[in-house]
């Protein structure tokens, strides 16, 4: 699987592969050139999965391909009603949570650039000295790429609030979003929620405590790596503490 390690869409694809207990090899993609996936004739986004001669681009296509090629255990329920519901919910998370969580999380990281350590910036001397200049060049590019501007941020926050409330309502009856076993809907929601761990106005809002508690419980139960708050030293101002009561 071709991936960028901190990408939440890549985590979704990895989670699908792990849920199917399929062994796989990671190919790290250069986040700036994306040459490894372009060489495969793809757009340049990650994840991309190759399986023999098959090249599958995008986390949803990967999930569907895996369910066809390796049906057991299934990612979507057999019952047609539940199947449609889980697929629709996963698609809504792809559409809303994916870009919106990324947008608001990047915005926080630009204000607390320590959060980029270990991903986009250098953590070791002497390289870390170039981080400020590097980020000054990178920030406008990323803001354009992911449209991280005030109006879009506000619209994202609005959509996220509505989606998180819906997800919470769904979880009132049990521990899975659809039915009573793991589906692509849970995998998608848990993976794509992860960048919001960086966003104080969501993680610290008591209104959303239960969805974050569920996400963390679920991720722990399935051995998923979750966003680490900071690498060392004191947390940046406004940063949620990992062990804070939710």
Residues that bind ligand GSH (CB under 6 A): 4, 7-9, 44-47, 58-60, 94, 145
Which of 4, 178 has the CB closer to ligand GSH? 4
Pick between residue 146 and residue 209 the one whose CB is nearest to ligand GSH: 146
**In the complex, minimum distance from the CB of residue 244 to ligand GSH, in angstroms, rounded to a whole number:** 26
- Which residue's CB is nearer to ligand GSH, number 119 or number 123? 119
> Hey, how many other C-beta atoms are within 10 angstroms of the C-beta on 55?
15
- In sequence order, the β-bridge partners of residue 50 are 55
What is the nearest approach in angstroms of ligand GSH to the Cβ of residue 16? 11
Of 21, 9, 11, 67, nearest to 218 (Cα)?
11
Nearer to ligand GSH, 60 or 197 (CB): 60
Nearer to ligand GSH, 47 or 77 (CB): 47
Shorter beta-carbon distance to ligand GSH: residue 184 or 203: 184
User: Who's near 237: CB < 8 A, 6+ residues apart?
Assistant: 112
């Amino acid at each position: 699987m071709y991936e960028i390690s901190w990408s939440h869409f890549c985590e979704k694809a990895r989670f699908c592969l792990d849920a199917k207990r399929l062994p796989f090899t990671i190919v790290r993609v250069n986040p700036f050139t994306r040459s490894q996936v372009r060489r495969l004739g793809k757009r340049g986004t990650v994840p991309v999965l190759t399986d023999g001669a098959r090249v599958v681009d995008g986390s949803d296509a990967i999930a569907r391909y895996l369910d066809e090629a390796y049906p057991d255990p299934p990612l979507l329920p057999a019952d047609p009603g539940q199947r449609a519901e889980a697929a629709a919910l996963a698609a809504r998370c792809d559409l809303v949570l994916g870009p919106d969580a990324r947008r608001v999380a990047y915005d926080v990281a630009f204000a607390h650039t320590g959060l980029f350590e270990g991903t986009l910036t250098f953590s070791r001397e002497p390289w870390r000295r170039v981080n400020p200049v590097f980020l000054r060049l990178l920030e406008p590019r990323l803001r354009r790429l992911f449209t991280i501007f005030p109006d879009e941020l506000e619209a994202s926050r609005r959509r996220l609030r509505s989606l998180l409330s819906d997800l919470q309502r769904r979880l009132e009856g049990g521990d899975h979003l659809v039915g009573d076993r793991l589906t692509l809907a849970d995998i998608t929601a848990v993976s794509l929620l992860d960048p919001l761990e960086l966003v104080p106005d969501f993680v610290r809002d008591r209104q959303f405590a239960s969805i974050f508690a569920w996400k963390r419980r679920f991720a722990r139960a399935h051995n998923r790596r979750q966003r680490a708050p900071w690498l060392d030293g004191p947390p940046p101002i406004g940063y949620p503490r990992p062990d804070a009561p939710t």
